[in-house]
Amino acid sequence: MGKVVIDQERCKGCMLCVEFCPKGILAPAKEVNSKGYHPIECNDEDECTGCATCALMCPSVCIEVYR
């Protein structure tokens, strides 16, 4: 059981976390943030294992992970 907290304002929607999430539970939001990016959201929190691969790959340093 894990949890990711993605800073929606800092996220630039680059998709690297989406690509490497082993559970495939990350995806861009429909809405844009104040800079015009579609920030990444977790769409199935129950599936998250807290493996932190998303944070490892995030160039914007906007993901915190709990387990």
Partner 1 sequence: MTTDMKQVYAYPDALTEVEMRYCPGCTHGTAHRLVAEVIDELGIKDRTVTLATVGCSVYAYEYFDTDAVQCSHGRAPAVATGIKRVQPDTIVFAYQGDGDLASIGMAEIVHAAARGENFTVIFLNNAVYGMTQGQMAPTTLLGQKTTTSPRGRTAPEAGFPIRVCELLDTLDGPAFLAREALSTPPHVRNAKRAIKRAFETQVAGLGFSLVELLSTCPTWWGMTPLEAIKHVDEQMTKCYPIAVFRDRLAAQEGEQSAESAPGEGE
Q: Which of 8, 16, 23, 29 binds partner 1 (CB under 8 A)?
A: 16
Is the sign of the CA dihedral 49, 67, 21, 32 positive or negative?
positive
Structure tokens at 17: 């976390």
Q: Is 12 in the site for partner 1 (CB under 8 A)?
A: yes
Binding mask 31-50 for partner 1 (x = CB under 8 A): ------x------------x
Determine the number of helices (DSSP H) and then strands (DSSP E) in the chain: 2, 4
Q: Is 52 in the site for partner 1 (CB under 8 A)?
A: yes
Structure tokens at 38: 């579609």
Q: Which of 6, 25, 42, 63 binds partner 1 (CB under 8 A)?
A: 63
